[in-house]
C-alpha cells in the first residue's frame, strides 16, 4: 500500500495552501495595524522550556508532547545512556513558551522599554486523539505582547482577534467569546485550596483523573470532559468570587473596555484553559457551527509570571493563538469558499509542433514581465490545449499557427467573451497589459 500521511496530520493541497497564505497575510495586515511584528522561533525547543513554561501537570506536557531525538542521541539512549537537559528536545505544542524564551534570550524588552508586540504563524504538535478539528500537527497564528500589565493590552488584543475573525468571514452571531480572570499569586493559592477542599468533599463522585490532579492542580478539574465531573465542578467555588482587589479591578477594567468597543462576551468562571502559565485575564472564542466538540477557534490570556519561569526578569505578558484548521472549518460552515488556486493570465497554444519554440519564447517573455503564463508540454491537440486552458482558468489564449507566425502575428482570444483578434507577436505583452488592467 502507498505510504499515507501520519495519523492526525493533513496535507494542505494547492487551493487550501493558497488560502492559508492569504489567511496569514490578512492576519499580518490586521495585527500589523495594532503594532505586531513577525517573529519566527524554532519548531524544536528544549523540553525543559515546556515543562517549566506550560506546566508539568498539564495534558499538553504530560501526555501530548512529541519528543525529538537526534540520531546520535537515540544511539546513546539505546545503549542505556542518559541525555543532558539541553539535548532533550520536543516539538513545540504551542508558540507562547518559545516566543517568551526568545524575548528573554535576546532581551527584547529592556527595562523601561515599550512592550514588544510579536506575532507568529506555523505548525504546532500535540499527540492528541485525532478527530474533526483536532489534529496532531495543526497551524496556529498567535500574538504575544510582553512588557505591559495594563488592562488596555488585554482588551486591545481581544478586540483585534474578534475584528480579524469577522473580517475573514466568520459570522459574528456564530461566535461566543468567553472571558474569566484566573487571579494572581496573591489570590489564587487560597482559591485553589478551596477548590481542593470542595473536590475532596465530592471525591466519590469525581473521576480518578480529577482526584489524582486534585493535589497538584485542582483547577484542571474544570476542564474534565466527563459530564458528571463537569456537573459537580459547575457548583465549585468561583474564582471571580475570590479575586484580590488588584485582580478584580484589572478584570473589571478589561470588561469595561470590551463593552466600550461593542464586543459581546459571556463571563465563564469555569474557564481555566489547559496551560498553567495564565494569570488574570483568560479568554476563548468558540463557534456554534461546523465544529462539534472541538469548537474553540482561538484563545489566550495573560501570563505575568512566565518570563520568570523561563529564567528572565519579571515581564508581564498577554497573548492568544487561533487554530487555522478550525477557522477553515468554521468558514466552510458559513459558506465561505476557498478561492480557486489555478489562475492563468495567458495560455499559449500551438496549432502544430512547428510553433513550439516561438511559443516557449513568448511564454518566457510574459512570465518575465510578471504575468502568470502557461503552455502545453505534452504535444496535445489544439482542442486538448483549449481544455487545459479552461482548466487553468486562463483569461486569454494566444494561438500560434504557422500561417499567422509567417506574418509575425498571433490570434489572441478572450476566454470570457470568446472574441478573437489578430495582433503582432511583439504586441502580445502590451495587449495583455491593456486587457488585464
- Residue 380, phi then psi, degrees to nearest 5: -75, 165
Which residue do the cell numbers 500560434 mark? 400
Q: Are 62 and 39 in contact (CB under 8 A)?
A: no
Q: Are 124 and 137 in contact (CB under 8 A)?
A: yes
The residue (of 140 and 180) whose beta carbon lies closer to ligand HAM is: 140
* Closest CB 202 distance from ligand HAM, rounded Å: 27
What single string gives the DSSP state of each residue in 321-371?
A: EEEHHHHHHHHHHTTPPPPPS--EEEEEEESSGGGHHHHHHHHHHHHHTT-
The residue (of 154 and 376) whose beta carbon lies closer to ligand HAM is: 154
* Closest CB 15 distance from ligand HAM, rounded Å: 20
Measured over the CA atoms of residue 91, residue 94, residue 95 and residue 97, the dihedral's sign is negative
The residue (of 134 and 280) whose beta carbon lies closer to ligand HAM is: 134
The Cα–Cα gap between 210 and 225 comes to: 10
The residue (of 247 and 287) whose beta carbon lies closer to ligand HAM is: 287
The residue (of 147 and 274) whose beta carbon lies closer to ligand HAM is: 274
Q: Are 139 and 121 in contact (CB under 8 A)?
A: yes
The residue (of 218 and 274) whose beta carbon lies closer to ligand HAM is: 274
* Closest CB 152 distance from ligand HAM, rounded Å: 17
Residues that bind ligand HAM (CB under 6 A): 94-96, 126, 128, 133-135, 138, 140, 142, 144, 274-275, 296-301, 319-323, 325-326
- What cell was used for 36? 505586531
Residues in the chain: 437
The Cα–Cα gap between 336 and 256 comes to: 33
- Among candidates 263, 344, 352, 280, which has minimal Cα distance to 316? 280
The residue (of 300 and 316) whose beta carbon lies closer to ligand HAM is: 300
* Closest CB 394 distance from ligand HAM, rounded Å: 37
Cα torsion through 365, 339, 158, 230, rounded to 10: -140
3-state secondary structure of 302: strand
Residue, CB closest to ligand HAM:
323
* Closest CB 30 distance from ligand HAM, rounded Å: 16
* Closest CB 433 distance from ligand HAM, rounded Å: 43
The residue (of 120 and 198) whose beta carbon lies closer to ligand HAM is: 120
Amino acid at each position: 500500500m502507498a505510504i499515507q500521511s501520519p495519523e492526525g496530520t493533513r496535507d494542505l493541497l494547492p487551493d487550501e495552501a493558497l488560502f492559508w497564505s492569504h489567511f496569514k497575510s490578512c492576519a499580518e495586515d490586521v495585527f500589523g495595524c495594532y503594532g505586531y511584528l513577525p517573529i519566527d522561533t524554532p519548531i524544536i525547543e528544549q523540553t525543559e522550556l515546556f515543562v517549566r513554561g506550560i506546566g508539568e501537570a498539564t495534558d499538553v506536557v504530560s501526555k501530548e508532547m512529541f519528543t525529538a531525538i537526534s540520531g546520535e542521541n537515540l544511539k546513546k539512549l539505546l545503549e542505556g545512556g542518559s541525555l543532558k537537559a539541553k539535548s532533550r528536545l520536543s516539538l513545540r505544542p504551542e508558540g507562547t513558551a518559545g516566543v517568551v524564551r526568545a524575548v528573554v534570550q535576546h532581551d527584547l524588552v529592556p527595562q523601561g522599554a515599550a512592550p514588544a508586540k510579536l506575532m507568529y504563524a506555523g505548525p504546532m504538535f500535540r499527540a492528541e486523539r485525532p478527530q474533526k478539528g483536532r489534529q496532531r500537527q495543526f497551524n496556529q497564528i498567535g500574538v504575544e505582547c510582553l512588557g505591559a500589565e495594563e488592562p488596555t493590552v488585554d482588551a486591545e488584543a481581544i478586540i483585534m482577534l474578534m475584528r480579524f475573525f469577522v473580517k475573514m468571514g466568520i459570522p459574528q452571531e456564530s461566535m461566543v467569546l468567553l472571558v474569566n480572570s484566573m487571579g494572581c499569586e496573591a489570590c489564587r493559592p487560597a482559591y485553589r485550596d478551596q477548590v481542593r477542599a470542595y473536590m475532596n468533599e465530592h471525591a466519590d463522585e469525581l473521576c480518578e483523573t480529577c482526584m489524582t490532579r486534585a493535589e497538584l492542580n485542582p483547577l484542571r478539574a474544570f476542564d474534565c470532559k466527563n459530564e458528571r465531573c463537569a456537573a459537580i465542578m459547575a457548583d465549585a467555588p468561583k474564582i471571580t468570587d475570590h479575586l484580590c482587589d488588584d485582580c478584580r479591578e484589572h478584570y473589571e477594567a478589561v470588561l469595561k473596555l470590551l463593552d466600550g468597543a461593542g464586543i459581546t462576551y459571556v463571563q465563564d468562571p469555569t474557564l481555566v484553559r489547559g496551560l498553567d502559565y495564565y494569570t488574570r485575564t483568560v479568554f476563548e472564542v468558540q463557534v456554534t457551527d461546523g465544529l462539534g466538540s472541538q469548537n474553540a477557534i482561538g484563545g489566550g490570556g495573560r501570563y505575568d509570571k512566565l518570563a520568570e519561569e523561563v529564567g528572565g526578569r519579571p515581564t508581564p505578558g498577554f497573548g492568544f493563538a487561533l487554530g487555522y484548521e478550525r477557522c477553515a472549518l468554521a468558514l466552510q460552515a458559513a459558506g465561505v469558499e476557498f478561492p480557486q488556486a489555478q489562475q492563468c493570465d495567458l495560455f499559449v497554444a500551438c496549432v502544430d509542433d512547428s510553433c513550439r519554440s516561438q511559443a516557449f519564447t513568448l511564454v518566457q517573455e510574459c512570465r518575465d514581465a510578471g504575468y502568470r503564463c502557461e503552455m502545453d508540454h505534452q504535444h496535445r491537440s489544439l482542442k486538448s490545449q483549449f481544455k487545459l486552458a479552461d482548466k487553468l482558468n486562463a483569461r486569454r489564449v494566444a494561438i500560434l499557427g504557422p500561417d499567422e507566425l509567417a506574418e509575425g502575428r498571433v490570434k489572441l482570444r478572450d476566454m470570457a467573451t470568446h472574441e478573437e483578434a489578430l495582433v503582432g507577436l511583439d504586441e502580445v505583452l502590451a495587449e495583455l497589459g491593456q486587457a488585464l488592467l
